C-alpha cells in the first residue's frame, strides 16, 4: 500500500504527478483555503504533509493527527509551525532554504528600487492620463540608489545576497545589523559593516528588512525606530508581516517621517491595512519575494525530496531529509514518530 500524504495548497502539475506516482495523495488543486478544523480533518491518517505558510501546525493539530511523521513546509520561513511542539512529539519539520536566496534578493532589490524611484506611483500617474506635459523638472523625483547607504536588518543568506547586489552592482555603502556579527571574510565579500540597530536606522538611505519573524522580532520596527530614520529614507519589508508595526508605518508615511516604503508582507495578510491602500508613497506587493517560475518549482521539489526521504526511511532509521529544521531528531532517530 502506498503511504498516504497530503499537500495543502495547489502545486505544479508535474510536482503532483511525481507525488502521485509514489503516494496516495490528498491534494488541493482548487487552492481552497482550509480552516484549521478542515486542515486537521484532512491530515487524518496522513504520514507526511507538504505545508505552506497559510497552514498553522500546532500542538493541537499534532495531537489530533498522531500518524503525522513529518511536516515539509514550502518556504524558508516556518513561523506557521510550532517547531518545539513538533520536536517534542518526534515530528520532523523541513523547509526550503537556499533555492530561493538569489530570487528573493532580486525581488528585494527590485522593490527597493521601485520604492525609491516611485515606479508604481509613476505607472498610476501615466495610466490616469495625468501626464500632459514633458520635462517637468520636479515630477516624481525619487532618491538615488547608486552610491547611497544600504541598510540591511537581518543578515542571513538573503540579506547577504542583497548586500552583494548593493555593494558590487550599485556601489553602495552597506551597513547591517544582525543578532550576531558575521565572519570577517563574509563581511569583506559583501563589503558590509556591522552597526548597532540605532545606527542602522539612522544611517540608511534605504533600509531593507530580512529578519525572520519570531516573538522577539515582533514589531522590531515601530514608531520609535521610524523616528530614527532620515526623512528622505525608504524602508522595504520582504521578511514577514509583524516585524514592522504597519499602523505606525502608515502614520510615519502620511506624516513624512520617512519618504516611502515597499511592502511585500503584511500583518494579517492577505488583508492589508486600509490606511496603507490609501497612501501613494508605499509600494504594495502580495508576498511574491520568491515567485519566479524556476524558484517556486525548486521550492516545491525540495519539499517533495524531504517528504520522499521521510517516507523511504523505516523507523528508527533517520531519514536523509536534505533540509531539516529540527535536525536534532535525526541525531536521535528513536525519538521520531513511528
CB of 183 to ligand DGY, least distance (A): 24
Known catalytic membership, residue 9: no
Q: Which stretch binds ligand DGY (CB under 6 A): 74-82, 113-121, 251-259, 310-318?
A: 74-82
Q: Which of 269, 273, 275, 335 is catalytic?
A: 269
CB of 100 to ligand DGY, least distance (A): 6
Query: Which CA distances in Å does 329 have to 24, 72, 164, 322, 323?
Result: 26, 15, 35, 13, 13
Tell me if 256 sits within 8 A of 284, measured CB to CB. Answer: no
Among 90, 142, 156, 289, binds ligand DGY (CB under 6 A): 289
Query: Residue 190, by phi and psi: left (phi above 0), alpha (psi -120 to 50) or beta?
Result: alpha
Does the protein bind ligand DGY through residue 77 (CB under 6 A)? yes
Side-chain half-sphere CA neighbours of 207 within 13 A = 30
Burial of 123: CB neighbours in 10 Å, binned 0-12, 13-18, 19+: exposed
Among 46, 75, 155, 182, binds ligand DGY (CB under 6 A): 75
* Distance, CA of 58 to CA of 118 (rounded, Å): 41
Q: Which stretch binds ligand DGY (CB under 6 A): 71-79, 172-180, 251-259, 306-314?
A: 71-79
CB of 334 to ligand DGY, least distance (A): 31
* Distance, CA of 260 to CA of 233 (rounded, Å): 7
Q: Which stretch binds ligand DGY (CB under 6 A): 73-81, 112-120, 152-160, 195-203?
A: 73-81
Does the protein bind ligand DGY through residue 81 (CB under 6 A)? no
Binding positions for ligand DGY, 82-111, rule CB under 6 A: 100
Q: Which of 165, 206, 240, 296 is catalytic?
A: 240
Q: Which stretch binds ligand DGY (CB under 6 A): 2-10, 27-35, 72-80, 174-182?
A: 72-80
CB of 57 to ligand DGY, least distance (A): 14
Question: Which residue's CB is nearer to ligand DGY, number 76 or number 244?
Answer: 76
Q: Are strands 206-209 and 282-284 parallel, antiparallel or unpaired?
A: unpaired
Question: Which residue's CB is nearer to ligand DGY, number 76 or number 172?
Answer: 76
Q: Which stretch binds ligand DGY (CB under 6 A): 75-83, 113-121, 245-253, 315-323?
A: 75-83
The closest alpha carbon to 108, from 234, 289, 299, belongs to 289
Known catalytic membership, residue 332: no
Tell me if 54 sits within 8 A of 78, measured CB to CB. Answer: no
Binding positions for ligand DGY, 35-64, rule CB under 6 A: 53
Known catalytic membership, residue 269: yes
CB of 211 to ligand DGY, least distance (A): 12
Compute, in degrees rounded to 10, the torsion defined by CA atoms 72, 76, 77, 78. 20
Does the protein bind ligand DGY through residue 156 (CB under 6 A)? no
Question: Which residue's CB is nearer to ligand DGY, number 142 or number 289?
Answer: 289
Tell me if 240 sits within 8 A of 214, measured CB to CB. Answer: no
C-alpha cell of residue 96: 526550503
Binding residues for ligand DGY, total number by CB under 6 A: 7
Does the protein bind ligand DGY through residue 307 (CB under 6 A)? no
Residues that bind ligand DGY (CB under 6 A): 53, 75-77, 100, 289-290
Q: Which residues form the catalytic set?
A: 240, 269, 287
Amino acid at each position: 500500500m502506498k503511504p498516504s500524504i497530503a499537500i495543502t495548497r495547489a502545486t505544479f502539475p508535474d510536482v503532483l504527478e511525481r507525488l502521485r506516482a509514489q503516494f496516495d495523495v490528498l491534494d488541493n488543486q482548487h487552492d481552497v483555503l482550509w480552516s484549521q478544523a478542515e486542515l486537521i480533518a484532512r491530515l487524518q491518517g496522513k504520514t507526511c504533509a507538504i505545508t505552506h505558510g497559510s497552514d498553522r501546525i500546532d500542538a493541537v493539530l499534532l495531537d489530533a493527527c498522531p500518524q503525522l511523521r513529518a511536516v515539509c513546509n514550502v518556504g524558508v520561513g516556518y513561523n506557521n509551525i510550532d517547531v518545539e511542539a513538533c520536536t517534542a512529539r518526534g515530528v520532523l519539520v523541513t523547509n526550503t532554504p537556499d533555492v530561493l536566496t538569489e530570487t528573493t534578493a532580486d525581488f528585494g532589490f527590485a522593490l527597493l528600487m521601485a520604492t525609491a524611484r516611485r515606479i508604481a506611483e509613476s505607472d498610476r500617474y501615466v495610466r490616469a492620463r495625468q501626464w500632459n506635459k514633458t520635462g517637468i523638472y520636479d515630477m516624481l523625483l525619487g532618491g538615488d540608489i547608486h552610491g547611497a547607504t544600504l541598510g540591511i536588518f537581518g543578515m542571513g543568506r538573503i540579506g547577504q545576497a542583497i548586500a552583494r547586489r548593493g555593494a558590487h552592482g550599485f556601489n553602495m555603502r552597506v551597513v547591517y545589523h544582525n543578532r550576531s556579527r558575521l565572519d570577517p571574510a563574509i563581511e569583506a565579500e559583501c563589503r558590509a559593516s556591522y552597526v548597532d540597530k540605532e545606527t542602522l536606522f539612522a544611517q540608511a538611505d534605504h533600509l531593507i528588512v530580512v529578519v525572520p519573524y519570531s516573538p522577539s522580532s515582533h514589531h522590531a520596527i515601530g514608531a520609535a525606530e521610524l523616528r530614527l530614520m532620515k526623512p528622505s529614507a525608504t524602508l522595504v519589508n520582504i521578511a514577514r508581516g509583524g516585524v514592522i508595526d504597519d499602523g505606525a508605518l502608515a502614520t510615519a508615511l502620511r506624516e513624512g517621517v520617512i519618504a516611502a516604503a515597499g511592502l511585500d508582507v503584511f500583518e494579517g495578510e492577505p488583508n492589508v491595512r486600509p490606511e496603507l491602500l490609501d497612501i501613494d508613497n508605499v509600494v504594495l506587493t502580495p508576498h511574491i519575494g520568491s515567485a519566479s517560475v524556476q524558484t517556486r518549482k525548486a521550492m516545491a521539489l525540495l519539499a517533495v525530496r524531504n517528504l520522499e526521504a521521510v517516507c523511504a526511511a523505516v523507523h528508527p532509521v533517520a531519514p536523509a531529509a536534505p533540509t531539516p529544521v529540527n535536525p536534532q531528531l535525526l541525531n536521535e532517530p528513536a525519538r521520531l514518530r513511528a
